[in-house]
Structures are given as structure tokens and as C-alpha cells.
Amino acid sequence: MLVGVRALLLGLLLAVLGGVPGLAPGSSTAAAQQGEPLRVGTYFDNVPWGFRDEKGEVVGFEIDLVQQISRILGRPIEYQGMGFRELFTALAANRIDLAVSSVSITPERLAHVDFTQSYYETAQGVLVMKKSGMRDVADLAGKTVSVTSGTTSERWVVANAQRFGFGRTSFSQGSSDGVRLLDAGAVDAYVGDLPTLLYQLLKRPDLAVIARLPGQERYGIALAKDSPLTAKVDAAITRLKQDGTMARIHKRWFGMAPDKQSATVKVLPRP
């Protein structure tokens, strides 16, 4: 198992079992808010970032984050569920104000949308069935690899397909759909962001994360280019980092305090 994975899995388990004291679910929306709704586009198959729990309630690390931003701005939230690729189309068409779905900050995306400062850093990984016998990326030669369309995971698979000799690329609708395809034997591996893959291991001991891919993903909230909200939302994230709220959100969902030099607590410039 990857270094640090056991600790992260323990933290994720704590979140599943009810979280960590210090940040009650929904605590940020207790006060009535009278402003115009913040239209938040997200994809509800993105554990532990944003998903529906067993009661059908919208929960997750990023859900806690946008609820706190909503509190600071004095505006209620209007969620709009959509596929990951559609988030950028919705921003351009002014159908949503914020795209929040573990969106990685990339130069290509910055050419078309605004981003807030980053609030989380991670890497990508590879998920397979344990019974497959695969142990590293080299074992994927000739295999069918699944990714969520429009993500940086797709970009990595396309860029490395020839190097590793990947077979067909299959597109899924998210990590849960990727696992469904693995179960059905329709694909051999699913590539996605590491925390999301590790979350799948909590209830699925028949799955394995066989590789942490090189490179770093930095998540930010995406807004329309030159949005009047960009500076306000970024300032709210700064405030949440400085007053310790971001650290509490991290501890709730990962069961441990974030590194003091991580993007979760360190105030960063907007890209």
C-alpha cells in the first residue's frame, strides 16, 4: 500500500462514521441568508468532495467549503448537478456562478476561466480489481483504461498511452461509474484523483490502488472569465484559511490536520 495511505484511509473512515467534532454538518447555513443565490455547479459522484449520502443529502469537503463561502458572502446556495465537462460550458453560458468539483488548475483552463487560489493539493492514482494481479502502471499494457471525461486524468492517459502501451480508453461518468465498469469487467483500470480512489477502498476490499502517478493536482474554484465574484470568493477562502476553518474541514473529511505548508491552510496568490 502507498506510503501514507493507511492514515488517509483511517481519516476517510472517520468521515464516513460521522466526521470529526468541530465542524457540524450544515453549521454554515444555520443563519438565514437574503442575498441572491450562488449558483454552484458540481458533480454528485465525487466522494469525498461532493456527493449525496445515504439520506440523499449533499455532503463533502467542497460542500462544506462552499457553505462557508456562502455564509461569508451572505448568499444562499443553489446547487446544479451536472457532468464534469459540462461545468465549463455552464460557466461560459452564465448558467452557474461557481464550478466546484475537485477542479484542477491548469494553464489550459486558465485561458478560459478564472480560478481562486488553490485549497487542496493531491496526485492521481490507478484503481484496479485485486484479483487482476496488476501491480503497477507497466501492467496496463494492452489493457482498457477508464477515466472521467474532461479531467486531467484523461489528459494523463492520452499523453501516456503510447509510452505504456495502453489499450482502449473508456469514458466513465465518475469514480462510482468507473468502479461499476471494473466490476462488470468492461475495463481493467480506472485513473482518477487519489483521495477519491482511496475512498472507494473503504467498502471495497476487492479493489486496490496500484500507483500514485507523478505530478501534482491543485484544486481551485472555477468562475467565468473576469467574473465580479472571483475576488470575493478568493478573499473568502483566504479568510477561511486564516481563521482555521479550512483546517477543520480537512480534519473532518480526512481525520487529520493538514500540513502547515499545504494549500489547505497556506494563503496563496490567485493563479
Q: How does pLDDT run across 203-243, given as a tens digit for each residue?
A: 899 999 999 998 889 999 999 999 999 999 999 999 999 99
Average pLDDT of the segment spanning 38-46 = 93
Query: Sorting pLDDT into bands at 50, 70 and 90, what band is 27?
Result: very low
Looking at residue 203, its pLDDT comes to 82
Same domain, 156 and 73: no
Q: What is the CATH number of the domain that holds 82?
A: 3.40.190.10
pTM over 0.75? The answer is yes
Same domain, 35 and 109: yes
Same domain, 149 and 40: no
Same domain, 115 and 26: yes
Same domain, 42 and 115: yes
Q: Structural domain tally of the chain?
A: 2
- Whether 156 maps to a domain, the answer reads yes
Domain end, chosen from 212, 234, 262, is at 212
Q: Identify the CA nearest to 192 among candidates 176, 168, 203.
A: 176
DSSP 202: T
Looking at residue 3, its pLDDT comes to 35
Average pLDDT of the segment spanning 238-258 = 94
Same domain, 67 and 191: no
- Whether 16 maps to a domain, the answer reads no
Range of the domain at 154: 124-212
Same domain, 107 and 239: yes
Same domain, 66 and 143: no
Same domain, 236 and 103: yes
Same domain, 113 and 229: yes
- Whether 1 maps to a domain, the answer reads no
Same domain, 208 and 137: yes
Looking at residue 173, its pLDDT comes to 86
Higher pLDDT: 143 or 202? It is 143
- Whether 261 maps to a domain, the answer reads no
pLDDT digit string (tens) for 219-229? Answer: 999 999 999 99
Same domain, 189 and 81: no
- Whether 92 maps to a domain, the answer reads yes
> Percentage of the chain surpassing pLDDT 70?
87
Query: Sorting pLDDT into bands at 50, 70 and 90, what band is 255?
Result: confident
Looking at residue 12, its pLDDT comes to 53
Looking at residue 260, its pLDDT comes to 92
Looking at residue 11, its pLDDT comes to 52
Helix (H, G, I), strand (E, B) or coil at 24: coil
Q: Which pairs with CB-CB distance under 8 Å and at least 24 residues apart come from 44-48?
A: 44/81, 45/173, 45/174, 45/175, 45/176, 45/177, 46/101, 46/102, 46/174, 46/175, 46/196, 47/175, 47/176, 47/196, 47/199, 47/200, 48/12, 48/15, 48/195, 48/196, 48/199, 48/253, 48/254
